Amino acid sequence: MTDFERKVYQIIVNMHLYGKNPTLDDLKRKTGKSKEDIRAAVKSLLMKGELKWDKGKNKWVII
């Protein structure tokens, strides 16, 4: 996991603990990176099995 992937993952985990679901704009504001960079990091986390998206609940599942 790269440093940026770890940062995105940690933001998602922290917001999840407070019952919030981070949006792309939330991640963009908190990381200072572009939407493309964030999407690439999230896609990588999904491919590695670190995160999962629950379509029924519209929430991240932390693995």
Question: How confident is the model over 3-20, as pLDDT tens digits?
Answer: 999 999 999 999 999 989
Its CATH architecture, for the domain 3-62, is Orthogonal Bundle (1.10)
pLDDT in tens, 27-47: 999 999 999 999 999 999 999
Count other C-beta atoms under 10 Å from residue 12's C-beta. Answer: 21
pLDDT confidence of residue 12:
95
Locate 55 and state its tokens: 């379509």
Q: Where are the domains of the chain?
A: 3-62
8-state DSSP, 22: -
Max Cα separation, the chain?
30
Nearest to 22 by CA among 40, 9, 36: 9
pLDDT confidence of residue 3:
96
CA distances 28 to 7, 16, 57, Å, are 12, 17, 23
Name the percent of the chain lying above pLDDT 70.
Answer: 100
